[in-house]
Amino acid sequence: MTTSIEELTGRLREFAAARDWERFHTPKNLAMALAGEAGELLAELQWLTPEESVAVMADPEAGARVRSEVADVTLYLLRLADALGIDLIEAAHAKLDESERRYDAATYRGTARKAPPLS
């Protein structure tokens, strides 16, 4: 099943409206909920070795928990973007364009060092 971001955002908007939750879905509250869910995702991976974290989805129980937390992060991010009127695809492309300018492949290939800010 393929669903567009717009379709998923619409479904999420309807889900919130049916429960009269829009008044709670302020940008501040949504950002806080997003941070909380990102923390729950992090907790699932926290004490794993790098190798274990790469293979986490092979464990049915751990994989299900990680998948659920990734879904929570996604849903709160979609809801926050919707509340703020941010086109996620457009914003992501703009950020990737900026990153391509900051981190040219020839200079940054194979390194994790931080680039200076763009002038």
- The predicted pLDDT at position 117 comes to 82
Task: Pull the structure tokens for residue 58.
Answer: 């092979």
Q: What value does the mean pLDDT take over residues 27-49?
A: 98
CB-side neighbour CA atoms (13 Å) of 29: 8
Give the pLDDT confidence score for residue 2 in this predicted structure: 81
Given this model, what pLDDT does residue 76 score? 98
Amino acid of residue 67: R
pLDDT digits (tens, 9 = 90+) for 70-101: 999 999 999 999 999 999 999 999 999 999 99
Task: Write out the two tokens for 23.
Answer: 């008044």
Place of tokens 């981190």: 103
Ordered by where they begin, the domains of the chain are: 26-108 (1.10.287.1080)
**Residue type for 85, please?**
G
